[in-house]
Chain A
């Protein structure tokens, strides 16, 4: 049986977990191909205008998969941390997809909701596993192997590798030769899809910088820094960005911060503002906000990145 995983949204965080789990259950895993113009075009055709770019692109990935697989995996992530939530658009993702795309194969849509208890996670694991086998031991074993794989992934991330490097299988970019260290903040689906962000990581690194991202920080960092908030935010992904910014006061090795948001992102309109204000008030690290949408002309982005790197270089020289 072939199971399709769309290469979009939280794929960039959980691919090593999902893929291994399904493989261990004896399924053939098909991940949709890298995002292209056509993925976007197909996605835009079926979605409403107001929705954010990463969700449109996710639609494109589902469309590219639907005729080649027996089932498609679209998890409904409601909450992965106590009293926190994932973006509302992702909570309703399977429903949105079903409403927008016709002739879909069956959707495997486990609900992951850890608001009340983190047993909710195991509920989701068994819900998915029981589609394919009725042996609980097989599910448990597959899950064990998958979590081990996932752990290796997160450990590599904490050591400084980025998801795009690991998922692409090139980890030789970890050199310390870089002149600058840039913290690129943003949601994983915007940071690690070079099509969405017009190859931004490569663009920045071409100026002799090493790009690090929120995925490179440990859970401890997040916990420590989020305790500074009077009241934690509702959004797990937003909290992560905020914590990554908050640690900058203690770090002296970051030369600049770039915040990448997709146009129309509800949570980011608030979190971006919090991050920007905090960085400006508490640090003197250069900061720039970059917004992405459907634009495929990258002149505007190039100008901003070049000016930002120029600024950092000239500041460092004095």
Chain B
């Protein structure tokens, strides 16, 4: 469950993708998960599901709704999926909705990674916003960039600078293809100078995450690096795919039964509420998830007194 998209993947025993769905989160993560569950569960029964894993910035929430057996960060998940697709992969470029990462692997082991620091400039949501501002469907963004003959230079260091630069360029008459291509180049420049700074990008290189759909960005990477960029078949759901593999491994190794809540979760009403804990001066913001009024999960505190719900028998 990412900031922009919520993706569900169903894999079989041999780690092949049986079904997948890419949904926009649109600020309503619970709805998105339920919709995805509805799609996956069409011709399946609860018993068909051997294990569940969640990843992404909404992994805690997703785990509470689904009953996950493993909750993993998206870096590890993307690395696992990348290795599955191409065991000899050395570099994974991943650009998602709010994060961009680089993962460096050697002989199937992650040896280094980096993520954008506290600023989210140059990620998917920024591209979305620019596409919307220009009135172009995001799906056409990339192909439009390829039509450019004379890309303009856009300031890429900061999304706010980039936007004002784009507006200036548009107001003096540059055509839209050239501006879009300039933006793709700026984004790639920003990525290579910040996220990938000081890293050795060896072949083979995989490009994963929602932004990999954007052919303009792929092309800009290939031009800047003078290297071939591979895009996996399931590029848009690689995080979900990776954590599915991890869930499978865990279930098989530990021989445990899944804690999957069942497909009926798609119709269960889940409510989230929050409150500020006044127990100490930290005033932590606590989030509670309830299913049909019953508390199923709680987190957000620093001291752990609220999220120890799992140890309580009453729940």
Contacts and interface: CB of A to CB of B under 8 A. Distances in A.
Contacts of A288: 113-114
B308 interface: no
B9 to A, nearest CB: 20
A280 B198 contact: yes
A303 interface: yes
B175 interface: no
Contacts of B114: 288-289
Given A38-B281, A306-B76, A311 B111 contact: yes
A152 interface: no
Contacts of A199: 302
Interface string A301-313: 0111011101100
Contact of A276 (B111, B115, B198): B198
Interface stretch (A84-92, A221-229, A291-299): A291-299
A98 B49 CA distance: 64
Interface string B83-125: 0000000000000000100000000011111110110000000
A262 to B, nearest CB: 10
Nearest to B56: A303
Given A199-B302, A304-B115, A314 B198 contact: no
Contacts of A293: 118
Contact of A314 (B109, B118, B302): B109
A153 interface: no
Given A280-B198, A315-B109, A195 B282 contact: yes
B283 A277 contact: no
Nearest to A318: B109
B272 interface: no
A25 to B, nearest CB: 30
Contacts, number: 72
A234 interface: no
Interface string A130-141: 000000000000
Interface in A184-238: 194-195, 199
A287 interface: yes
A256 to B, nearest CB: 11
B187 interface: no
A37 B283 contact: yes
B185 interface: no
Interface string A53-97: 000000000000000000000000000000000000000000000
A291 B118 contact: yes
Contact of A37 (B73, B111, B118, B282): B282
Contacts of B109: 314-315, 318
A276 B280 CA distance: 38
A12 interface: no
Contacts of B74: 303, 307
B75 interface: yes
Nearest to B116: A300
Contact of B111 (A286, A296, A300): A286
Contact of B57 (A34, A38, A277, A299): A299
A263 interface: yes
10 contacts: A34-B281, A287-B112, A289-B117, A291-B118, A295-B118, A300-B57, A302-B73, A303-B75, A307-B73, A310-B110
Given A289-B114, A292-B118, A303-B73, 20 more contacts: A33-B281, A36-B283, A38-B283, A199-B302, A277-B198, A284-B111, A286-B112, A289-B117, A291-B118, A293-B118, A300-B99, A303-B115, A306-B72, A307-B113, A310-B72, A311-B76, A311-B110, A311-B111, A311-B113, A315-B109
Interface of A: 33-34, 36-38, 194-195, 199, 263, 276-277, 280, 284, 286-289, 291-293, 295-296, 299-300, 302-304, 306-308, 310-311, 314-315, 318
Q: Which 6 A-B pairs have the closest CB atoms?
A: A307-B75, A36-B281, A306-B73, A291-B117, A303-B73, A310-B76
